[in-house]
Structure 1
């Protein structure tokens, strides 16, 4: 993807800022105002490493870079506009059905498994920086902060984060003691696959291991998530 050595604001208009686990600019195309984008600005001593990481990560469940700009000692990356995060799903009234929970977790695990194969770790996964497209596709953001890991290190940060994400999706809050687990089993019985998966996140050593869990063995369909975007 070629870098354009000009101000992004020649072709884009900055409309407002949005908190997606960190503030980003929501911009529209000056030639077609119906097209909106997420714009991130990078500067400082770690800019080069972040740019390399953006270039390195290529997976359907990570937000893709559409355009790149270099202007006045800063770098701008332009992404598809998605305004609904899992944090919005958590704060919306409906509770997820097990099939919907599985469809979300499967896509997150596919992305983390990809990172594992690339010897990378995201390190800061949470419900705020995981987006949901109108088509039901999970898109993880802030991949520029991913870090290299050695083969001798377990990928525990991302695996543990998936446990917290699953817990928040299931009961809409964290436990006060910081432990992974449910306090109310009325929606997800203690002997259900969802609760067993949640427990498995406390001992699993990789996303690949969690992908083999029986919760995800059924026909997982991302299309089941489309309606959630409308109510979040």
Structure 2
């Protein structure tokens, strides 16, 4: 009698085909061999194509976990990754002893995209500066610390160069301008609010960025906006801004709204129909001409009455 029951149970279990189990493919599990991106400069509007690898059918199946995968572990890892900052120390060695470079591109200046030779294999960006300018740049780096200003994780120094290691943010606002899509009201407010927050921090530390434009503002795939090219920052003696200081903000705003800025310092939008449902954005553009500080612009109704978060930029990115 017991033997018949055992056979009955076996027959029922045999009817559950393995192919009906929930697939774990592409649910956050990294491939065994990470594909290499083809070397070459990133151009605005280009989209790198990632090659996928197909697991060998001869490999034994891994342990099957029933139910939907949970991503709490990935979120915790990301939080830890973002919390890592530079402690101010400098390593007297070449970064290429630790990192393997893959290609160079123009992302708010020339960067080498690299991956650590062992351990955490996340992509990083390394920038190189001449040694004669190292002390000035290190002074700037030690003076600023803000989520909307590009920061470093490690610094390396050799006999002829200073190297800074940063998170790899693959976009600049030049990519957004070159993209076919236009940002909407929320996306535009998210970009400009983060830019002004970063600029306000620089002014608070008595720095001014004379070469600010869309090519020197980084954008992450998570929607974070960061003022980059901080090596271009100069000390500003007075806290009050003039029209020259505000001009980069005006130009960035125009390029985001209509893909180009007017010549000879003229300010305005040619296609008003595109923004007829958002008159506050046009009013904000006009305010960039007369505002006396970045803090004043941050209080404009276009930014205060538009609810946004960095995640609103993910689709645009």
Name the structure 2 match of 1:85: 172
Q: Corresponding residue for 1:136?
A: 223
What residue is the counterpart of 1:207 in the other structure?
A: 294
CA contact (8 A) 1:131 1:138 kept: yes
Deviations 1:49-103 (A, max 9, x none): 1121012111010122111111122111000001111110111111111111001
State the secondary structure of the residue aligned to 2:211. coil
Report which structure shows greater RCO (CA 8 Å, sep ≥6): 1
Q: Select between 5-14 and 176-185 the one with higher mean Cα deviation.
A: 176-185
Equivalents in 2 of 1:14, 1:191: separation in Å?
45
**Is the counterpart of residue 226 in structure 1 residue 317 in structure 2?**
no
SS at match of 2:145: coil
Give the TM-score taking structure 2 as reference length: 0.68
Give the SS at the match of 1:114: helix
| Comparing 124-133 and 170-179, the one that deviates more | 170-179
2:140 to 43, 48, 53: 53
Match of 1:108 among 187, 195, 200: 195
Separation of aligned partners in 1, 2:105 and 2:99 = 16
How many angstroms apart in 2 are the aligned matches of 1:6 and 1:142? 23
Residues 121 and 155 of structure 1 are in contact (CA less than 8 Å); yes or no, is this contact kept in structure 2?
A: no
Shift in Å, 1:36: 1.1
Q: How many residues align?
A: 229
Q: d(CA) in 2 for partners of 1:139 and 1:78?
A: 15
User: For structure 1, which runs of at least 5 residues remain unmatched after alignment?
Assistant: none
Q: What whole-Å deviation, never above 9, does each CA across 1:145-203 have from its counterpart, x for those lacking one?
A: 21111126525444210110010000001223431211111211297000001111111
2:124 aligned with 1:37 = yes
Residue number in structure 2 paired with 1:63:
150
* TM-score for the superposition, normalised by structure 1: 0.92
More strand by share: 1
1:51–1:144 CA contact under 8 A, matched in 2 = no
Which aligned pairs between 1:70-219 and structure 2 lie closer than 5 A? 70-151=157-238, 153-154=240-241, 156-189=243-276, 192-218=279-305, 219=307
Aligned Cα RMSD in Å?
Answer: 1.8
Consecutive unaligned residues of structure 2, counting only runs of 5 or more, are 1-86
